[in-house]
Amino acid sequence: MSWGAGRGSASVETREDFADALRGLRQASGFTVRAIADSADVRLATVGGWFSGKHVPTPANQDAFRRVLGACGVTADDADAWWAAVMRVRRATQRRAAATPYRGLEAFSVGDSRWFHGREEETDALLDRVRLLTGGGILAVVGASGAGKSSLLSAGLLARIERGDLGARTAVRITPSRLRNPTDLDPRPDIVVVDQAEELWGEAFDAGERRRYLDRLEGLTTDGRHPVVAVSRCARISTQSPSRSRRWRPHSRRIRWSSARWTSSGCVG
């Protein structure tokens, strides 16, 4: 069984899941998006859209998607599992169009943005903070579990960026467990949203792996040519070492978020 079928496609339920899993597959293959597109003989813009999560394959381009999977080293049998994941995402999107807007305990995704009401002020404030970090930097959104941080980032920030509220800037959402090296993003977006960042302190990462991940994250943020990085659900990321905190302070902001209120604590550290 390939990496993609064993660790990626089986857990795909949303468009964001699909993009996360596909990027993990590309990372494992060692190829760039351009190389995969050339090998599969599929337009680069189409392949880039799949890897970024901007759109998912349609039945009309199933053959093209299977060629992309083949270029990543996925076997024919495992490609069937990937196509089943694509159809799950498409069915979920279609159901959502006619479904109740109440998400219960589930987070709102980018596709749920039309139902994400009551957080316009917070989303505006988050966008303003991102604009302050146009030269690179860390924007940490921290708060208690269940406060709605992931919904704010996906249905709020990412949906507004996709709508063009930050001009032509592009953004992508990743999680540490799905993409263990954030510098492997290809193509490189303008803004990287690292959700579920507390995974770095879980069983999936030892101390050395966590340090390397944060070093790579720091490399993205402290050079003005690189993307802004927004980090969710992890207060430790700004305090995990005094030396790192001192290096990040000139580049960083932190927002404390709760379901009841929004406060800004200024610079991280």
User: Can you give the residue ranges of every domain in the chain?
Assistant: 3-98, 112-264
Structure tokens at 140: 């940490």
Give me the mean pLDDT over the 165-177 stretch.
86
Mean pLDDT, to the nearest integer, of 38-47? 92
Mean pLDDT over all residues of the chain?
A: 77
Give the CATH number of domain 3-98.
Answer: 1.10.260
- Return the pLDDT at 82: 93
Residue of 147 and 265 predicted with greater confidence: 147
Residues 226 and 190 sit within 8 Å (Cβ to Cβ): no
Q: Is pLDDT above 50 for 2?
A: no
CA distance 156 to 48: 23
The residue type at 56? V
- What tens digit of pLDDT does each residue of 64-107 get? 999 999 999 999 889 999 999 998 888 876 655 555 666 666 77
Banded model confidence at residue 246, pLDDT cuts 50, 70, 90:
low
Q: Fold identical between 3-98 and 112-264? A: no
What is 112-264's CATH number? Answer: 3.40.50.300
Q: Which two tokens stand for residue 29?
A: 């293959």
Residues 194-238 pLDDT 10s: 888 888 888 889 999 998 998 888 888 766 555 666 666 655 555
Given this model, what pLDDT does residue 226 score? 59
CA distances from 158 to 20, 85, 94, 162, 195 (A): 15, 23, 20, 6, 12
